[in-house]
Each structure stands twice: as C-alpha cells, then as structure tokens.
Amino acid sequence: MITRYGPDWNASGYSASGKPAVPPGSDAVFTNKAGAKVGWHPITSLRHDKWFDFTYYGDAQSSVMFAQTFANATAPTEAQLRIGVSGSVKVWVNDALVLTEPEERNNDLDSYIQTIKLNTGYNRILVQIGESYAGSSNFLVRITDDKGHVIPLTYSAAAQPYTKETGYVSKKIEPFGITFFENAVKNDPEDHLAKILLSQAYLRNDKTYDARRIIEQLRAKYPNSTFLNLLLLNVFNREDNRTGAETLKEAIKNNDPDQTEALMYKYNELIAQKDNDKALAIINRLQEKQPEQQEFIYAGRITLAGLNNNQDEIIRLGEEAYLKYPDNKQFVTMKYIIEKQVRKNPKAINYLKKYVDNNDDYVMLKELSDAYFTSGDAATGIKILQEEINNKPYAPGIYANLGNQYFDLQKYDKAEENYLNSIRIAPTISNFYSSLGKINEMAGRKDKAVDYYKKTLSFYPNDYQTIQSLRTLQSKKDVFSYFGNDTTDEMIRKAPKAADYPEDEVVVLNDEVQKVVYEQGGSEERHIIVVKALTQKGVENWKEYQIGYDGWQNLLIETAEVIKANGSKVPAERNDNSLVFTNLEVGDIMNIRYKICRAGLHMGLISPRTLTTMTASRMKKMERKTSGTNWYNV
C-alpha cells in the first residue's frame, strides 16, 4: 500500500472528535508541534515486514502522526479493515471514523477489525497513530474480505477525488483467536488449556489486563506453577510493572530453584551483589541441571573471568564460545577483539565480515564499516554502507552515517548528497539540516549553511548548538557576552580572610545565575559559583559538590577547579554532575561554572503573552532563590 506520511502533531491530547484532523490535498500545509510548516510527502519504501514505521520518517516520539492512501475499487464493496499498531489509533474511511482506540498498545497483525464500505472509484483511508508512552509508532493495515483474504485493489499516494461517507455504520469484529477460545472457555470453564491459549491471544493484541485476569485465576489454583508464573511475568514486563516482576522472580527462585529461569535470575542477582564465588556456583549448577543453556553459561563464565581480571580465561572461553556459536553477536565481538588486540591479526576484521554476511544486523554492519574506515580502507567501508542502503532504502540513518563518513573524508559534496537523501525520507528531522549546515560551513558555502541552520531551528527551535553556530556565521556576539565582563579574578583578588568571618566555614564570593530566554521558549542558564574555604570544616563540607539538574536538561560543565593561594589551578574530578575537589585546603577557592539548557515550550500550544507572564513569574522566584540572577531575552 503506497502511503503518504503527514504532520507530526503533539500527542498530549487524544481528541475525541470524529472529524479527520487533516485535509487530504498534496498542497495542504500544517503547523507541527514545533511550529514549523509541514505537509504530506510520499513514502516509497517500507520495512521488509511491510509495517509502516513512523520513526523512520519523522519525529514520532510524543507525537500524533498521520498517513493516508487512496484505494481504488471497481465496484461498491463491503470489506474489513484490519490493523495492528504501536500507539493509539484512529482510522477514517472516506472521512467517516471507523476505529478509535485511545489506549496505546503494541499489538500484532489484525488486532483491530472493523467493517467498512468502499465506493466505486477512489476511497480515502486515513490512519492516525499517537505515541506518548508506547515506545514505538507504527501500523500495518489490510483491507480484506470476511475470511481475511486481501481484496485486490489499486492504490494512489497522491490525493484523488472521493465520495465522503455519511450513513454507513462500521461494526467491530473480534479477532478469530479471541472469539474461538472465549467460546471454548464458555463451553467448558474447566478447560485450562483453552484459558492459557486465550490469555496468549489477548496478549498478542496487548490486552494485558484481560490476559492477567485469566492467568491470575489459574494461579489461584496452582500458585507454585512456574509455567503460570512465567506467563504472568511476561504480562508484567509488557506493563512495565517492575514490582510485580521482581515478586514473581522471587517466587520462581523459591518454588523451583533448579528451573532455568530461576538459576538465571539468581546468577544475575549475585553478579549485582558482586558475590562472584556464589555466582560461579550457580553457573556450575546450571551446567549440571540445564546443559542446553550453553550460550548463557559461556556468557556467565566470561563475565566472571572479567570480574576476576583473568585475561587468559577470557580468551580461552571467548574462542571456545565463538567456535560453537559463530552467530552469537557477543561472542563474535569478543573473537574480533581477541584477534585484533591480543593476537594482532591483520585479518581480524574477517570475523565481523563473516557474521555480517550471514546476519541482517545493522549494528554489527556499522561496526564492520567503522573498522574499515579506521584501518584506512575507506572504499570498502563506503561500499558496505551503500550495499546496506540498497537493502534498507527506507532507513535515513544509514544515509546519514555515510554522509558522516564522507564529511570526515572532507568530501563535502558527497556528504551533502547523502544527507539530502536522509531528508528525502524524513524531511522534518532537525539533525539532518544541522548536519547540512555544518557541511556547507566547512565547504565555505556560508549562505547555504545559514539557510540550513535556520531550517534546523524551524523544526527544533531549542537546538542550542545550532543557535550558536548560526550566530557565529552571522557575526553576532555570544549571547552570554551581554551580561558584561567576567569579574571572577577581581573577586578572588579581593576575597576576605578567615579573620573577617571568624564564625563562618566558607564565604560565598559569587552565586550568580545568568539566564537567556529564547523566543521559542527554551532557555539557557550559566551558573557561576565562587567559594572560599575558611576552615577545615568548610573544606570537608565543600570538597564534594553535586550540580542539580533534571534528566530532560543538558548539563555542560565549563569550569570546575581549585584555585590555590599562589594562583595555581587544580581541576576537580568529574563524574556527570558530581564534582570532587581532592586537593582542597583551607584558604583555597572553588571556581565552578556550568550551563544548563532547558527544553522549550511549543509555541503552537502556548501564546507569547502567556510565555512572557511565566518568564516574569519565574524571574521573581529565581531572585528569591539566588544572590544574583541576570536575564537576557533573545
């Protein structure tokens, strides 16, 4: 089915409206969640399994995405529309809503079935998928007869004239597997096999509540059944119910300690506890009780050898495991490392090549191509990526990877060509435009670079690196320079002595926040903290410092150092947001400077006036919290 992919609207509200949210015309223009103007564009290639995966074509995370096609029927036809999805879903046929499911699910082929009416001529089919927690955004739709056989139709990606539906009432049809086993259970409530199979039919459609209800009924009769516990564990894993999953794992370990999963759970638990001797005992027990689990056993022994720093054993096990399981990715990688780094084998790369030749695995293929580039054989590295593009023409990331390699080779025209292919597939991904900006900047094409950087910001207004690159090309000052000259050196020179503050452990010379608020709602903060240690207790309290920031923010530590009385500087040890001043002494000064970049609000969802009000409110709060907060709006 040839389809057009549409705008990536924000998915914060699953509208109950039955009207199509987007018009069908190829010239239609929409405003997406970042405020950018977007429209329909054709999709020429799908995944090999024929699922329409929005993650290849746009920013599908936390978005509502649309796809449409026009099906041409030679006569009026009553048919069935069958669809499986990842995400929430709505489907319209000729602008009549035939399916709506607000709950986000990851289900299988033909999970939702609705009757539809096709008119003679073209019929518009519009699919909406929403993602906020499903983790994926895709669908596969089939138009079939009542037996599930595909009806032969022709399709057009381009908008075609169609007759809007006004009176047809679509009917929901449950998948055969569910109705069959529901009837079997109804006819014989003691048919436990039918109940188990019904639970799996529910789970195939991601109806986790229904599956759990049936399995828990059976567990009430057989509470120590490892089989039922594993079925329920699968449900909990799909629901991301970690508490329930851990409780079941404990039950499996206690009730059936020699069962395969029980031994594996116990091994992983002991590794986390760093109890290597007991973990080895579990591996030996697994070897005795479940010898068919050799891949896990080898991986476990290799891990333990690594934890015990036994390189000879790692090499022995790695080579032995590779000989037995040459298609195991972990063992292949180990064999490659052993041959390359330990044996200095110039043909080590052949182990990666053999795996890639026999397995469709892009991660390993990329490692293989990277290995050729690193060895200086760029021609082979490029050839591998070009062949993978032929194999997966729907994947813009492969074009981008090849573009990066050409960029590193300073072949800027070829780099641009590949990134333009990425945009052809996914025209709203901001990173592709920022890369084109960098390519043209390096190639000396300033005007094109500026245009691409501007395009980047139209799709992702809070790309701070692109903002800085654009300002540099436009000969504009760094935004933080508007806050004036740095006075840290003067503060340190005039810093008071311990005698000036006899009751204090430290003196704070500066605790400043410089905040830049961008028009699109994003903001950057520079924090400047300068503190002098006056007592040994002050040293103990300040020798470790944690920078507070949230996971959705970006932290950049610019300076973290101790300044000694003689002016020498000793860098702090860093681990993410943790700083340790190992050489801090009484009289030393801690100089900390860092930036926090915050994601902005989408201007399509909040007005500039509201933004101004919120900014002013936050400013007042910041003034109460810090000794000095400076603001600059751009």
Mean pLDDT (the chain) is 90
pTM of the model: 0.85
Contact 473, 449 (CB under 8 A): yes
Percent of the chain that is helix, strand, coil (3-state, to 5) = 45, 25, 35
pLDDT in tens, 455-494: 999 998 889 899 999 999 999 988 888 998 888 999 999 9
Of the listed ranges 46-50, 121-125, 628-632, the one predicted with least confidence: 628-632
pLDDT at residue 519 in the model: 77
pLDDT at residue 35 in the model: 80
Question: Looking at the predicted structure, is the pLDDT value of residue 292 above 50?
Answer: yes
How much is the average pLDDT of 287-309?
96
432 phi, psi to nearest 5 deg: -65, -40
pLDDT at residue 17 in the model: 60
| CA 528, chain centre distance (Å) | 32
Distance, first Cα to last Cα, the chain:
46
Confidence band for 7, pLDDT divided at 50, 70 and 90: low
| CA 1, chain centre distance (Å) | 27
Confidence band for 306, pLDDT divided at 50, 70 and 90: very high
pLDDT in tens, 559-614: 999 999 999 999 999 999 999 998 899 999 999 999 998 765 333 322 222 222 22
Tokens 């998915």 locate to 11
How much is the average pLDDT of 266-295?
96
Confidence band for 11, pLDDT divided at 50, 70 and 90: very low
How much is the average pLDDT of 173-201?
97
pLDDT at residue 30 in the model: 86
Rounded to whole angstroms, the Cα distance separating 214 from 195 reads 7
Q: Does residue 484 or residue 374 have the better pLDDT?
A: 374
Beta carbons within 8 Å of 311's beta carbon, 6+ residues apart: 305
pLDDT at residue 632 in the model: 42
* Domains of the chain in sequence order: 3-173 (2.60.120), 177-256 (1.25.40.10), 274-473 (1.25.40.10), 481-633 (no CATH)
Which residues face 527 on adjacent strands?
Answer: 513, 594
Q: Does residue 613 or residue 233 have the better pLDDT?
A: 233
Q: Pairing relation of β-strands 506-517 and 628-633?
A: parallel
Percent of the chain at pLDDT exceeding 70: 91
Confidence band for 3, pLDDT divided at 50, 70 and 90: very low
pLDDT at residue 611 in the model: 27
Quick check: helix, strand or coil at residue 59? coil
CA distances from 183 to 111, 179, 186, 221, 457 (A): 18, 6, 5, 22, 56
b/e sequence 563-577, b meaning 16+ C-beta within 10 Å: beeeeeeeebeeeee
pLDDT at residue 553 in the model: 85
Exposed/middle/buried for 244, CB within 10 Å: 0-12, 13-18, 19+?
middle
Contact 236, 211 (CB under 8 A): no
User: Among residues 139, 148, 58, which one has the least CA distance to residue 101?
Assistant: 139
pLDDT in tens, 349-362: 999 999 999 999 99
CB count, 10 Å around CB of 56?
21
List, as one string, the DSSP characters of 399-440. Answer: HHHHHHHHHHTT-HHHHHHHHHHHHHH-TT-HHHHHHHHHHH
Percent of the chain at pLDDT exceeding 90: 82
Q: Does residue 470 or residue 34 have the better pLDDT?
A: 470
Of the listed ranges 417-421, 580-584, 629-633, the one predicted with least confidence: 629-633
Residues in the chain: 634
Contact 196, 222 (CB under 8 A): no
Question: Looking at the predicted structure, is the pLDDT value of residue 6 above 60?
Answer: no
